Structure 1
Amino acid sequence: MYNDYRMNDQNVKDYQKYERTIKTINKRFKTYGYERIKTPMFEQYDLYSQVKSSINKKEMIKIIDRTGEVAVLRPDVTVPITKQLADNYPKLPNDLRYYYVQDVFRQPSFEDGSIEGTQAGVEYFCETSPEADAEVIALACHTLKDLGFSEIKIEMGHAGFFTELIQMINLADHDVGQLKSLIQAKNIVEIEPFLRNFDIREDVIEALIKIPLLYGNPADVSERARNIVQTVKMDETLDYLLTVYEILKLYGLENNIVLDLGLINHMGYYSDVIFQGFVEKFGKPVLMGGRYNQLGDEFGADLPAIGFACEVESLVTALTTDTVSPRTPIDIKILYDDENLKESIRIANELRERNYTVLSYPIEKALSNVQNSIYQLTISSKNNVFKYREEQTSFQSLNELIKLLNGAKGAM
């Protein structure tokens, strides 16, 4: 009986840790302006079978519903969220931010794996831009920092880099899959013999062999990658990734980002930037994400987006601290001009650490953005303006801004 009590007591402690982890994640997601949504636990199998770029259908948990139709336990959240939006919007009306904490169900790839797991993730529906992509990666990194991790690495790659090389050779789908597996495993010994089985140009073979080695500091990796570039698009991809990295440096995350051009698309619908997060003393990714601009096309809608999902059980297992700080989200919208991107990020970071919910946009997007906010800041070369209700006040420093916010809260 004593042993049973100890086991049950540990289960309670583990669940409390699980709940605190989710609470911390929820609070951080809200500081970036995301709203929580939910998708059904059961979905029609056709939703996934008709989507060409979805998860492995063999991993789905299938059942027969009362009408005789094949249904699946929710294996993914991104697909149903995109489908729900596509049913209402043939074209993205404005930026939309959603987050979720839901169980997903898949057949495990190993014997002691679990069918059920909890995912916490965000979906940011927006046009492609380095600023938007960097913001989502920064949110992923900040979430891991909130949980108490100190050694955080976000590996960033691009689905298009490998895709461009593959389009230059004629391989069957199963051969492409095998090549992806070799590159993902960084199996340099077997990649060249595998490629020699096909009629492939020597320079393309050399490029594919080098891809697994293109890992490390983004500036250094980009410089080495220029030597294997075969197309203008590959060159543009490297430029884009470096721009994202430069913005992430403004968030103070330069020591947390590595470039990995051997990071191959781990979900079929990712089309551009892809990334995964690692923490200390844990040997597999605790979060994965990327941009998926074409998934909406599967449902007849133009819905470009970027997002990521955390594996909550992995985070709980990896956690060595239970540090959780309470936050009270308050909406603030920051509008900035091109010259003041760095300053707007600095102010947004400071405000988020003071428990405010903050959204940042270029000034030219102000009219198209319908997101309501309690406060609005305009950061420009001419003037910094704080707006509350109909009153506008200029400010010069962060301390002045905090006094204005505190004064506005006192008047509410």
Structure 2
Amino acid sequence: MYNDYRMNDQNVKDYQKYERTIKTINKRFKTYGYERIKTPMFEQYDLYSQVKSSINKREMIKIIDRTGDVSVLRPDITVPITKQLADNYPELPNDLRYYYVQDVFRQSLLEEGSIEGTQAGVEYFCETSAEADAEVIALACHTLKDLGFSDIKLEIGHASFFHEFIRMIDLDAADVEQLKGLIQAKNIVELGPFLRQFNITEDIIEAIVTIPMLYGNPVEVSERARKIVQTEKMDETLDYLLEVYEILKLYGLENNIVLDLGLINHMGYYSDVIFQGFVEKFGKPVLMGGRYNHLGNEFGADLPAIGFACEVESLLNALTTDTVSPRTPIDIKLLYDEENLKESILIANELRERNYTVLSYPVEKASSNVQNSIYQLLITSKENIFKYRDEQTSFQSLNELLKLLNGAKGAM
């Protein structure tokens, strides 16, 4: 939720911007066939402490309930959605598409700021396929385009490419985390000396040092990556990523896609394709996602899935005055003279019952209302007028008005 509650003009504008952003996201998610769901605000601490996840347990907001059990304010949404599904299905019954817009709560140990933030995301429960993975990545890109961003980059990687190298070297968990950090930071200077502390062959060291540089055009990067592959699984991974890229080109998104084999699994449960989205003049990802085929196994179910989440506050911060869409117009502005107040109220109520957004004003106050509208109605003692674009038509009854509205919508 947007967290500044000072009732001033800037607060109203900020909240309108927030609402427009959410409305745009909701609309795009629905166009891909996703249904909205929600998860409880309070969850059992054990739900998160027992599964693989990058959520730092010390960042969770913990609460002791009256029975002495530890609960947490919702720090993540993918985990409880998967748990809810696993409680009902031991295996995937058919493809399932869900989306959410909910607050998550975390207290950062490194940064000051609000513990509350809004996430908007999708979870597509389906078997692995290049078509499904490309569709979700396309949805992520289309969502950012809908919000008005023009310079969008979706960086795509694969969890198993780096994992194959980890299987070939003997490092403990702490050393693996340090290695991940060096690769993510593209710290090539320190990467080689770090690896040479261990009993690792020079060809493997040289291959791992190359990983941070495997970034750019998917075809070109895959060609360079073929020179360092050590296993058949790595080759298969590159083939799969290229297949996903070819499908994304069919969506017309080839200029938005970057292959980054140094993109490391940022959530403990991601198992295959991983991706993150960047927009112009904003230095951190505004969305992250990936395929998590094994998270359901943590709850005794086989529920392969892919999804992503947008940090709504990051999107709002990234939106500039150039990219923010203008204030959403209402459907109908209704103007009336004093003698026809009763009739105008009846008409406004009937239209609202039909899901039109209606604002009504006395004629003398019309000039002080600057809200844009798609249609205008003028209700006076002399005549009733329907205005759309540069045309105006008189009408006598509600039925005539509804016909005019339907005709105008059909012409849009």
**TM-score tier after normalising by the smaller chain length:** 0.7 to 0.9
Q: Give the C-alpha shift of residue 57 in structure 1.
A: 1.3
Structural mapping, 1:317-356, within 5 Å: 317-320=317-320, 321-323=323-325
Q: Give the C-alpha shift of residue 7 in structure 1.
A: 7.7
Q: Give the C-alpha shift of residue 52 in structure 1.
A: 3.0
Rate the CA distance shift 1:126–1:319 in 2: closer, same or farther, 3 A. same
Structural mapping, 1:65-104, within 5 Å: 65-104=65-104
Kept after mapping to 2: 8 A contact 1:103/1:117: yes
Kept after mapping to 2: 8 A contact 1:20/1:324: no
Q: Give the C-alpha shift of residue 56 in structure 1.
A: 1.9
Give aligned pairs, total: 325
Cα deviations by residue, 1:103-143 (Å, 9 ceiling, x for unpaired): 00112243323211100000000000000000000000000
Q: Is 1:217 aligned with 2:226?
A: no
1:143 is matched with 143
Q: Secondary structure at the match of 2:212?
A: helix
Q: Is 1:127 aligned with 2:137?
A: no
Rate the CA distance shift 1:48–1:324 in 2: closer, same or farther, 3 A. farther
Aligned partner letter, 1:205: I
Q: Give the distance between the partners of 2:216 and 2:63, measured in 1 at CA.
A: 45
2:243 is matched with 243
Kept after mapping to 1: 8 A contact 2:41/2:74: yes
Q: Give the distance between the partners of 1:311 and 1:245, measured in 2 at CA.
A: 25
Structural mapping, 1:6-405, within 5 Å: 8-320=8-320, 321-323=323-325
Q: Give the C-alpha shift of residue 299 in structure 1.
A: 0.2
Q: Give the distance between the partners of 1:246 and 1:171, measured in 2 at CA.
A: 36
Kept after mapping to 1: 8 A contact 2:54/2:266: no
Compute the TM-score of the two structures, normalised by the length of structure 2.
0.77
Q: Give the C-alpha shift of residue 225 in structure 1.
A: 0.2
Q: Secondary structure at the match of 1:241?
A: helix
Kept after mapping to 1: 8 A contact 2:28/2:143: yes
Q: Give the C-alpha shift of residue 261 in structure 1.
A: 0.2
Q: Secondary structure at the match of 1:167?
A: helix
Q: Secondary structure at the match of 2:227?
A: helix
Q: Give the C-alpha shift of residue 58 in structure 1.
A: 1.9
Cα deviations by residue, 1:214-256 (Å, 9 ceiling, x for unpaired): 0000000000000110000000000000000000000000000
Poorly superposed stretches of 4+, deviation over 4 Å = 4-7
Aligned partner letter, 2:157: G
Q: Give the distance between the partners of 1:6 and 1:32, measured in 2 at CA.
A: 37
Kept after mapping to 2: 8 A contact 1:147/1:324: no
Q: Secondary structure at the match of 1:192?
A: helix
Rate the CA distance shift 1:222–1:109 in 2: closer, same or farther, 3 A. farther
Rate the CA distance shift 1:229–1:68 in 2: closer, same or farther, 3 A. same
Q: Give the distance between the partners of 1:109 and 1:250, measured in 2 at CA.
A: 43
Identity of paired residues, percent? 86
Kept after mapping to 2: 8 A contact 1:154/1:258: yes
Cα deviations by residue, 1:253-298 (Å, 9 ceiling, x for unpaired): 0000000000000000000000000000100000000000000000
Cα deviations by residue, 1:356-383 (Å, 9 ceiling, x for unpaired): xxxxxxxxxxxxxxxxxxxxxxxxxxxx
Q: Give the distance between the partners of 1:13 and 1:169, measured in 2 at CA.
A: 54
Kept after mapping to 1: 8 A contact 2:35/2:98: yes
Q: Secondary structure at the match of 1:71?
A: strand
Q: Give the distance between the partners of 1:202 and 1:252, measured in 2 at CA.
A: 41
More divergent stretch after superposition (117-126 vs 194-203): 194-203
Compute the TM-score of the two structures, normalised by the length of structure 1.
0.77
Q: Secondary structure at the match of 1:301?
A: coil
Rate the CA distance shift 1:54–1:191 in 2: closer, same or farther, 3 A. closer
More divergent stretch after superposition (298-307 vs 6-15): 6-15
Kept after mapping to 2: 8 A contact 1:48/1:54: no
Q: Give the C-alpha shift of residue 201 in structure 1.
A: 1.3
More divergent stretch after superposition (280-289 vs 105-114): 105-114
RMSD value, Cα: 1.9
Aligned partner letter, 2:126: C
Q: Give the C-alpha shift of residue 324 in structure 1.
A: 7.2
Q: Give the distance between the partners of 1:279 and 1:105, measured in 2 at CA.
A: 24
Aligned partner letter, 1:253: L
Q: Give the distance between the partners of 2:62 and 2:46, measured in 1 at CA.
A: 11
Cα deviations by residue, 1:135-170 (Å, 9 ceiling, x for unpaired): 000000000000000000000000000000000011
Q: Give the distance between the partners of 2:154 and 2:88, measured in 1 at CA.
A: 34
Q: Secondary structure at the match of 1:227?
A: coil
Aligned partner letter, 1:111: E
2:357 is matched with none
